Amino acid sequence: MPPAERQHLLGTQDSPLRQVYTGDMGGFSELPVIRKDPADLSVTPNLADYAATRADFTWETAESWLDGLPDGGFNIAYEAVDRHVTAGRGDHVALRCLDKAGAVTDVTYAHLQTETNAFANALRSLGISPGQRVFSLVGRVPALYTAVLGTLKARSVFAPLFSAFGPEPVKQRVVIGGGVAIVTTTALYRKKIAPVRDEMPTLAHVILLDDGPADDIPGAIRFEELMAGQSREFPIEPTGREEMALLHFTSGTTGTPKAAVHVHGAVVAHYATGHFALDLHPDDIYWCTADPGWVTGTSYGIISPLTHGLTMIVDEGEFDARRWYRTLAEQRVTVWYTAPTAIRMLMRAGPDVAAEYDLSSVRFVASVGEPLNPEAVVWGREVLGLTIHDNWWQTETGGIMIANYASADVFPGSMGRPMPGIIAGILQRGEEGRAAAGPDGHVVELGPGEVGELALRVGWPSMFRGYLDADDRYRKCFVDGWYRTGDLAQRDENGYYWFVGRADDVIKTAGHLIGPFEVESVLMEHPAVAEAGVIGVPDPMMGERIKAFVSLKPGTTTDPAVLRKELTAHARRRLGPAVAPREIAFSENLPKTRSGKIMRRLLRARELGLPEGDLSTLEGGDK
Ligand code: ATP
Ligand code: MG
């Protein structure tokens, strides 16, 4: 770490999470606060003064930053593509696509405009109407972007799937969404769609991106052929803000995935959150590593960056530490949006690999999806020379709600502060462990330092408008004008939010309420630990006792019995005996969703011999 940076690492707090392990067992120092001075930043941040921006902001102002359709309303694809061409930036590269072998194809905004127009015409030529659902089951290839944005232009609804899903998860989702078309490849079709095709009666069209044999595929049509005959003009019809645009399935971390409905008006929030939370500027080279099957892959892997008119890296390859560092270095990426699981994989690969690459172009790094353990933030500073800015949101919120900003101090372990335009609160929980209204019909908001359910005041543009076919479930998400997120958190005296755990995952042990994240973060401070998942196991004395599942860094040779003792001692010292795990099991990999979230419910079900529940999103599961 350069000496100048060291001076920025100041500050002290009381909570155990706010200390950092210094390398010797038992050696701790106060967790560094990463102080920021906007004057030090190479690019003037979009949000320079949090309080002032928040005070001035209205969603009407954010709307005025977009163009709107010439005939009224908002269409996501118009804001993402056409308006840049109208503004004379058609020659700017929108997508820089890297294929698996590393070959580069550039797509300009002008080209993206005509391609998406042709795709919109193509859907109409197939008889697909506004409101009908088009699915995708494909990796990050250029045609995917044409399909997503062309579908939105045609006012049909886009529903992305992970290409790694097996037949069952594909079927479940296409059936829930009533999909009429799917964009895929012949190989993916044969493996994942053919076995369940008969069970998806609405699926009439299969749009194939390659030229493999397809004579036996009902409704097959080649993307190239479909596009060839189409006009490159497509006047977007007036699109209502409340028209359904996207159908996103949640990650399935806590149970069966839900189909969240999003509307075209959400684009106002996609733009504003990219502006404030990711600090996007039109000359940025931006890279979002999320899979297109996950909401992040659409909101921040397609829509938000393109509404800013920047150049986006589209990498078809899967995670590989060297490939990723090379991409950052060679493509001169300036803004990088990734996930804790990826950062922990880079940590596993070790500092020497990072040292081989020049990351000097990167000015802003953000992470989402799971709690970002403080150790990872400290690692980012020390090994990459970069501050990793955690931010928080959900499929249901459609966009970033709580964030660490380029210009603002970062407290490692905190997910930051609410976006301008977003009112967050910590609500008192009722008997079922969720925020509940009291006899007077109102909820109680808790103050700093108190743990409760994280909630958001309803009414931001990208708020989901329903769970498809699950109205009751949707209604239950709201109480007294608040959206209940299902996550527990606390706010500190500076207004920063700290994630405690999902309401379903918190552990009640000997009268304490414990978030798994706190225990996991402490275990990950140990040099041998790569990842940890912590659950509560029923216990006659304590209610629940804490059990940790730990995966080790490669090359760890310490005897497990010794390591277990070390980890127990470390956790007891850091967390106290009541909160330290009573049991530690080593496992090569922890069960995760395809978006990289540890599935604690599955660790628990397996531990207790209970039914495993919905496994459709399990990584490495049903292929
Ligand atoms: P399901 O709702 O099906 O159980 P999921 O909640 O994992 O799945 P997503 O919408 O992809 O589906 O994930 C949102 C959740 O991810 C949040 O509610 C939160 O629990 C977690 N999360 C996201 N970002 C963060 C973060 N920065 N820190 C902590 N947790 C986060
Ligand atoms: Mg959820």
The CATH code of the domain that includes 580 is 3.30.300.30
Residue 21 has pLDDT above 70, yes or no: no
Q: Tell me, using a 6 A CB cutoff, whether residue 395 lines ligand 1.
A: yes
Residue 622 has pLDDT above 80, yes or no: no
Closest ligand to C-alpha of residue 257 is 1
User: Which residues are CB-contacts of 318 (< 8 A; sequence separation ≥ 6)?
Assistant: none
- Residue 60, token pair as written in the block: 């009407």
Ligand 1 center from residue 381 Cα (angstroms): 25
The CATH code of the domain that includes 240 is 3.40.50.980
Q: Tell me, using a 6 A CB cutoff, whether residue 371 lines ligand 1.
A: yes
Burial of 265 (0-12, 13-18, 19+ CB in 10 A): buried
Instruction: Pick the last residue of a domain from 259, 283, 298.
Output: 259
Ligand 1 center from residue 595 Cα (angstroms): 10
User: How high is the pLDDT of residue 550?
Assistant: 97
Domain count, the chain: 2
Q: Tell me, using a 6 A CB cutoff, whether residue 251 lines ligand 1.
A: yes
Residue 598 lies in a domain: yes
Q: Tell me, using a 6 A CB cutoff, whether residue 597 lines ligand 1.
A: yes
Instruction: Pick the last residue of a domain from 235, 259, 283.
Output: 259
What is the tens place of the pLDDT at every residue in 298-330?
Answer: 999 999 999 999 999 999 999 999 999 999 999
Residue 545 lies in a domain: yes
CA 229 to chain centre: 37
> Relative to the CA of 617, which ligand 1 atom is closest?
3
Yes or no: say if 347 and 530 are a contact pair by the CB < 8 Å rule.
Answer: yes
Yes or no: say if 154 and 118 are a contact pair by the CB < 8 Å rule.
Answer: no
> Relative to the CA of 257, which ligand 1 atom is closest?
3
What is the tens place of the pLDDT at every residue in 251-266?
Answer: 888 888 899 999 999 9
Confidence class for position 448, pLDDT limits 50, 70, 90: very high
Nearest Cα to Cα of residue 138 among 279, 268, 293: 293
Residue 26 has pLDDT above 50, yes or no: no
Nearest Cα to Cα of residue 363 among 53, 45, 48: 45
Yes or no: say if 594 and 620 are a contact pair by the CB < 8 Å rule.
Answer: no
Ligand 2 center from residue 503 Cα (angstroms): 10
**Helices then strands (H, E): number in the chain?**
21, 31
The predicted model gives 5-34 an average pLDDT of 43
What is the tens place of the pLDDT at every residue in 347-373?
Answer: 989 999 999 999 999 999 999 999 999
Yes or no: say if 456 and 482 are a contact pair by the CB < 8 Å rule.
Answer: yes
User: How high is the pLDDT of residue 13?
Assistant: 34
Lowest average pLDDT, out of 14-18, 157-161, 417-421, goes to 14-18
Q: Tell me, using a 6 A CB cutoff, whether residue 505 lines ligand 1.
A: no
HEC-encoded secondary structure of 352-369? HHHHCCCCCCCCEEEECC
For the whole model, what pTM was predicted? 0.93
Residue 244 lies in a domain: yes
Yes or no: say if 373 and 520 are a contact pair by the CB < 8 Å rule.
Answer: yes
- Residue 264, token pair as written in the block: 């075209």
Residue 8 has pLDDT above 80, yes or no: no
Kindly report the protein residue whose alpha carbon is nearest to atom 30 of ligand 1: 370
Instruction: Give all strands (DSSP E) within 235-274, no chain letters.
Output: 244-249, 259-263
Confidence class for position 473, pLDDT limits 50, 70, 90: very high
**More confident position, 23 or 122:** 122
Domain span at residue 560 reads 507-608
Residue 467 lies in a domain: no
The predicted model gives 500-512 an average pLDDT of 87
User: How high is the pLDDT of residue 285?
Assistant: 98
Provide the percentage of residues in the chain whose pLDDT is more than 70.
95
Residue 204 has pLDDT above 90, yes or no: yes
Query: 3-state SS of the chain: helix, strand, coil percent to 5?
Result: 30, 25, 45
> Relative to the CA of 595, which ligand 1 atom is closest?
11
Instruction: Pick the last residue of a domain from 259, 292, 327.
Output: 259
User: How high is the pLDDT of residue 508?
Assistant: 86
Dihedral over alpha carbons 614, 619, 621, 623 (to 10 degrees): 110
Residue 129 lies in a domain: yes
Lowest average pLDDT, out of 17-21, 130-134, 168-172, 510-514, goes to 17-21
Residue 478 lies in a domain: no
Whose tokens are 């802003």? That residue is: 364
Residue 416 lies in a domain: no
Residue 55 lies in a domain: no
- Residue 225, token pair as written in the block: 């052929």
Q: Tell me, using a 6 A CB cutoff, whether residue 452 lines ligand 1.
A: no
Q: Tell me, using a 6 A CB cutoff, whether residue 135 lines ligand 1.
A: no
Nearest Cα to Cα of residue 111 among 122, 96, 129: 96
Yes or no: say if 303 and 74 are a contact pair by the CB < 8 Å rule.
Answer: no
- The average confidence (pLDDT) of the chain is 92
DSSP string, 144-208: HHHHHHHHHHTT-EEEEE-TT--HHHHHHHHHHHT-SEEEE-HHHIIIIIGGGGGG-TT--EEEE
